[in-house]
Structure 1
Amino acid sequence: MPKWIEVVAVAMAGAVTISPAMAQDGAGQQAGPCVENFDPAADYFPQKVQSDHSRFWEASYHGNYKVLTVADTENLESGDSINYVLVQCGTPAPELSGALEGAVVIEVPIERTIVTHRNAIAMINELDRLSTIVGLTGNYLRFANEDAWYADVVAGAGDPADVASESDLDIETTLSLEADVIFMAGYGPGYDEVTSVTDRGLTAVMVSNRTEPTPLGSSEWLEFIAAFYNAEGEASAIFDTIEADYNAIVEQVAGALGGDMQVAYACMGEVGGCGFMYAHGANTLNGHILQLFGVTNPFAEGNDLPNGMQFDFESALGRTQETDFFIAYYYASPEALATDGRYESVPALAAGNYTISTVDNWNYCNAVNYVRVDELVRDYAIGLLPEMFPGEQGVCFQVPSQ
């Protein structure tokens, strides 16, 4: 876990008493009305979480408040971090001095949230807290017209307002919703959505699971979000199941595949910026999965970027003549393979030796895959080793014959 430099996120000072609200009933957590008779010696958060896999957040507990420290992934080179001080409602906030100077104080459990990050929606769904969502970006509301999962999200939230887009929030609508927090994606250097919203005085919470280099690191952000709901016990039980199932699949696949097998993870086509081929090296989440599977990644050499890189026809062809299998991602890849004859020059693709993103449920998969990473690796395993999963087909990735 990196040692970040503590910096000001939102200017606050002095001791604050948090106003009453109704708490959620969670495994061993404070339940019912807010605290009425504060006991400074009491542990108000008996269920706790810690980041065992994430590179970008850590938690500490202090009686009636907890501190979530998050790397500012929009400005990683600066070493900056953001402190969220989560205070049990009805109890006093700590003095914001020293390491806590400039921290963002939030009363927990939260009751109203706006969500602009699809993976955060999936995490809140896993925690059964959809009813706290009061606002969503317009694209998610549109998805509800064509995707059953998003339709269930919107139904569970009640009647969430349209807050426009994550890169251009409707500030007037956002303010009118009086949300406790706005869960937003921290996509990494080059993005500034969270910074921009925070600079406008809104309580944006950076959820940077998509910058994690490992699947379990991404999924573990479920426990980070749970801390805002005082739902650590529930989240830990969910994550423990995800972790166990994920590790079991990885071990099963690694034991069956040889190191001489070449497997690539790539997307194809001009839509979405894939070019002829956009492939992941060893430093990406999916590159990490390939390493755990024990296979050789033909795109690993010289491809150290955290999100992979683009390869033109000639360079991709030179790397893939011995490739045995492809995991082809992105909703536009199936059309690219079907309409661009150049892919016939790649032996594995020409032979149909690949599993590819499903199109009909792409929006669901894009929200859930980086949370339910156990289901993600199972899809890959079914494509690679169908004999080990007789009668099963993938949900978000399927081989051409399925």
Structure 2
Amino acid sequence: MKLAMIAAFGAALVLSGTSLPAMAQTASPAGCVEDFDAATDYFPDKVEPRHSTFWSISYHNNYKVLTVPNSEFPNGPDLNYVLVQCGTPVPDLADDLEEALVVEIPVDRTMITHANGLAMLDEIGELDTIVGVSNAMINNAANDHWYGRVLDAANDPQNLGSSGIDYEMALGLEADILIMAGYGPGYTEVADASGRGLPAIMVSNRIEPTPLASSEWLKFLSAFYNVEDHANQHFDAIEARYQEVVEKVEGQLPPDYTAAYACIGEQRGCTFMYAHGPRSLNGQILETLGVSNPFAEGNDAGNGMTFDFESSLGRAANADFFILYYEASVNAETIATDSRYQSFPALVQGNYITGTDGNYPECGATNYVHVDRLIRDFAIGMLPELFPGEDGICFTRP
């Protein structure tokens, strides 16, 4: 994943002994340094991962090093991003940092194709740096209030392409970084973009081992904008609200209570049922709430797997509760028109929550960041008596 052009630029700066160009006369982390002092710590506010296992960071006075295991090619070397404070010299990039991507910070031009990353930028207040977005985000903005608000706050973002990334146009935007999702083996989007000379940043929150670890990637992104203190405050609040729900629900459900997270019908390619196991974010929340997942056994895929009618019936016919992915109106029609779903008493009796109508795109972007809201939705559905008068944000009772 070597970015030859950027590496050569960084090496040239090191050899010449010059600094990155200053853009403002200030020594604060928010701007550029006018009079560089090698002994000064230019990053008084710092982040560190407490839950995430997919990124690490080290601080070195005028630069930071972010390291991310390459989820697309797990057997390959880690990805390193060297973030250099504007107006200060690029460090000597040797050994593991020889092929690192050098980024001048704070970033002021961002491209993004990762919906969860978009929600993270919204959380840390950096939407105004966005100059390019995926076609899907632009389409969602036409019908979804949250996407509309987010893109209105961006910097007149350009469409990066209707089928994949238009590399020529993306390069022409001269952005500092391109935020992309790292989904694991079998995907090559980040590698492809890097190979074309784009400053791609891998955000692998979707394959983290816990929900809070997924949310914590907002701290990772904050390092590119020098807003670590802001990110720490927001994540700490998310974590506190998440733990509040866990403590409130603890011991309130029967020990043999079973709940399944599933997509039903042919929408979104679900065929009969597409259910999550213990490794998905939703499966992890079920486990955190102390319920048994009938689809857990043998279902180790990070995003679940398909089950036909017979196998679904064998596993979940007696499930106490379902969490149905996708919009409520579509799910209601599926249950009403396909008699096979009448074989599941929980569905017949309305013992389920379903994706809300009207904010489906928003929830797809924000659920992996605001895991506090997601776990609360699940808890309200299963134990409404503990949350009188409350309704879910992304999942509600039918």
The two structures share one fold, judged by TM-score above 0.5:
yes
Which of 112, 120, 125 aligns to 1:115? It is 112
- Identity within the alignment, %: 54
Secondary structure at 2:232 match in 1: helix
Tell me, yes or no, if the aligned pair for 1:9 and 1:82 is still in contact at 8 Å: no
Amino acid at match of 1:134: V
**What's the CA shift for 1:124?**
0.6
Tell me, yes or no, if the aligned pair for 1:320 and 1:346 is still in contact at 8 Å: yes
Deviations 1:315-351 (A, max 9, x none): 1101112210011113454443233221111111111
Which stretch shifts more, 181-190 or 220-229? Answer: 181-190
How many Å separate the matches in 2 of 1:174 and 1:286?
34
The alpha-carbon distance between structure 1 residues 267 and 369, as it changes in their structure 2 partners (threshold 3 A), is same
Which of 267, 278, 288 aligns to 1:271? It is 267
How many Å separate the matches in 1 of 2:335 and 2:223?
43
Tell me, yes or no, if the aligned pair for 1:24 and 1:109 is still in contact at 8 Å: no
Task: Give the 4+ runs in structure 1 shifted more than 6 A.
Answer: none
The alpha-carbon distance between structure 1 residues 23 and 353, as it changes in their structure 2 partners (threshold 3 A), is farther
Amino acid at match of 1:221: W
**What's the CA shift for 1:302?**
1.6
Which residue of structure 2 lines up, in the alignment, with residue 3 of structure 1? Answer: none
How many Å separate the matches in 2 of 1:154 and 1:390?
35
The alpha-carbon distance between structure 1 residues 345 and 22, as it changes in their structure 2 partners (threshold 3 A), is farther
Deviations 1:215-270 (A, max 9, x none): 10110000001000000000000000000100110121123123210111111112
Deviations 1:101-134 (A, max 9, x none): 1100000000000111111111111111111111
Which of 337, 340, 352 aligns to 1:339? It is 337
Secondary structure at 1:246 match in 2: helix
Tell me, yes or no, if the aligned pair for 1:24 and 1:229 is still in contact at 8 Å: no
Which of 169, 172, 179 aligns to 1:173? It is 169
How many Å separate the matches in 1 of 2:169 and 2:196?
14
Amino acid at match of 1:350: V
Amino acid at match of 2:113: T
Deviations 1:43-93 (A, max 9, x none): 1111111111112111111110000001111112x1431000000000011
Which residue of structure 2 lines up, in the alignment, with residue 63 of structure 1? Answer: 61
Which of 7, 14, 19 aligns to 2:21? It is 19
Query: 1:251-400 alignment to 2 at 5 Å?
Result: 251-331=247-327, 333-400=331-398
Which residue of structure 2 lines up, in the alignment, with residue 45 of structure 1? Answer: 43
Secondary structure at 1:329 match in 2: strand
How many Å separate the matches in 2 of 1:23 and 1:339?
66
How many Å separate the matches in 1 of 2:391 and 2:374?
12
Query: 1:201-212 alignment to 2 at 5 Å?
Result: 201-212=197-208
Which residue of structure 2 lines up, in the alignment, with residue 237 of structure 1? Answer: 233
Secondary structure at 2:72 match in 1: helix
The alpha-carbon distance between structure 1 residues 295 and 301, as it changes in their structure 2 partners (threshold 3 A), is same
Which residue of structure 2 lines up, in the alignment, with residue 4 of structure 1? Answer: none
How many Å separate the matches in 2 of 1:139 and 1:339?
30
Tell me, yes or no, if the aligned pair for 2:29 and 2:106 is still in contact at 8 Å: no
The alpha-carbon distance between structure 1 residues 23 and 373, as it changes in their structure 2 partners (threshold 3 A), is farther
Deviations 1:164-223 (A, max 9, x none): 14x621122212211111111111111111111100011011111111121101100000
Do structure 1's residue 221 and structure 2's residue 217 form an aligned pair? yes
How many Å separate the matches in 1 of 2:346 and 2:199?
48
Which of 89, 98, 101 aligns to 2:86? It is 89
Aligned residue-pair number: 388
Do structure 1's residue 30 and structure 2's residue 26 form an aligned pair? no
Question: Where do 5+ consecutive residues of structure 2 fail to align?
Answer: none
How many Å separate the matches in 1 of 2:295 and 2:139?
36
Tell me, yes or no, if the aligned pair for 1:24 and 1:230 is still in contact at 8 Å: no
How many Å separate the matches in 2 of 1:296 and 1:248?
21
Tell me, yes or no, if the aligned pair for 1:20 and 1:89 is still in contact at 8 Å: yes
Q: CA-atom RMSD, angstroms? A: 1.8
The alpha-carbon distance between structure 1 residues 22 and 111, as it changes in their structure 2 partners (threshold 3 A), is farther
The alpha-carbon distance between structure 1 residues 371 and 22, as it changes in their structure 2 partners (threshold 3 A), is farther
How many Å separate the matches in 2 of 1:372 and 1:19?
37
How many Å separate the matches in 2 of 1:370 and 1:24?
36
Tell me, yes or no, if the aligned pair for 2:2 and 2:195 is still in contact at 8 Å: no
Tell me, yes or no, if the aligned pair for 2:25 and 2:33 is still in contact at 8 Å: no
Secondary structure at 1:314 match in 2: helix
With the length of structure 2 as denominator, give the TM-score of the two structures: 0.93
How many Å separate the matches in 1 of 2:300 and 2:97?
35
The alpha-carbon distance between structure 1 residues 44 and 334, as it changes in their structure 2 partners (threshold 3 A), is farther
How many Å separate the matches in 2 of 1:394 and 1:341?
28
Question: Where do 5+ consecutive residues of structure 1 fail to align?
Answer: 1-6
Secondary structure at 2:51 match in 1: coil
Secondary structure at 2:224 match in 1: helix
